[in-house]
Amino acid sequence: TYLDRDPDRFWYTFSRGPADFFVMDVRTERVLSRWPWQRRMIGDIQEQAFIEWLDRDPDRIKVLVTSVLLFPEQRRPFRGKDAWEGFKHQRQRLLEAMGRSRSDKLVALSGDVHASLYACLTLNGGKQVHSWTCSGLFWPTALRAFRWYRPMIRVPGVLHGGWGKPLGRVEVPGEVFSDNAFSEVSFSAEGASFQLFDRRQRPISETSREIRWR
């Protein structure tokens, strides 16, 4: 669709093959507050639209695209308030909505941390949310200090929501690749493939992952 006017929002949905995508706008709708329960990454309308989207055609694969990681979290003192871990109350609502939804094939795609990794969150109740992260190809030397490395990540461990409520358990079974890379993601009715390649197009099997829907 070609835009003939200024958009009234920057989040949108689309479908490809067996998957439905919800691309979040996690920048322009942020509300920063000194009170953690008032902090919001997205606005009320976008949050409600995401929750309703989860239950639309629940047999399809539901892919949340967010420019900052939903999980895992960083260890202290690396933790920051810019990612979803700084918006625990709203993240809790989104994850609880995933757990309640009729959709069982749940994936989150993200970047931002100048590293690549696969993570899996097993929510209370047993439903799984798969996370695949791959950041950009070009990082100036000055950004090396901002790359994620495995010792910075708090895994395996319990993911907490607002007021310290446990939401589920996070695992990162493969390696964290902290160098230039790109990925190829494919979905099917049986599962998903997250393949990682270095800058010379060589596969990085230690980080890549094949999953099957339960």
Tens digits of pLDDT across the chain (214 residues): 566 778 889 999 999 999 999 999 999 999 988 888 899 999 999 999 999 999 999 999 999 999 999 999 988 877 767 889 999 999 999 999 999 999 999 999 999 888 999 999 999 999 999 999 998 766 666 556 678 889 989 888 999 999 999 999 999 999 999 988 999 999 999 999 999 999 899 999 999 999 999 8
Neighbours of 197 (CB within 10 A): 19
Q: Distance between CA atoms of 90 and 78, rounded to whole angstroms?
A: 21
Q: Is residue 109 part of a domain?
A: yes
pLDDT at residue number 1: 55
Tell me how far CA of residue 46 lies from CA of 22, 53, 153, in angstroms: 10, 10, 29
> So what's the pLDDT on residue 36?
87
Q: Domain of 41?
A: 12-179
CATH number at residue 80: 3.60.21.70
The predicted pLDDT at position 3 comes to: 66
Query: Judging by DSSP bridges, how do beta strands 19-23 and 61-65 pair with one another?
Result: parallel
pLDDT, residue 138, reads 62
Bridge partners, 16 (sequence order):
19
Residue 195 counted as domain residue:
no
Answer yes or no: is 79 within a domain: yes
Cross-strand pairs, 15: 20
Quote the number of domains for the chain. Answer: 1
- What pLDDT sits at residue 70? 95
Determine, yes or no, domain membership for 190.
no
Decide if 175 is inside a domain: yes
Dist. CA 125–CA 45, nearest whole Å? 27
Between the alpha carbon of residue 71 and those of residues 74, 119, 139, 157, the distances in Å are: 9, 8, 22, 11
Domain contains 92: yes
Contact 74, 33 (CB under 8 A): no
Pairing of strands 128-134, 106-110: parallel
150 found inside a domain = yes
On whether residue 202 sits in a domain, the answer given is no
Provide the 3-class DSSP secondary structure of residue 155.
Answer: coil
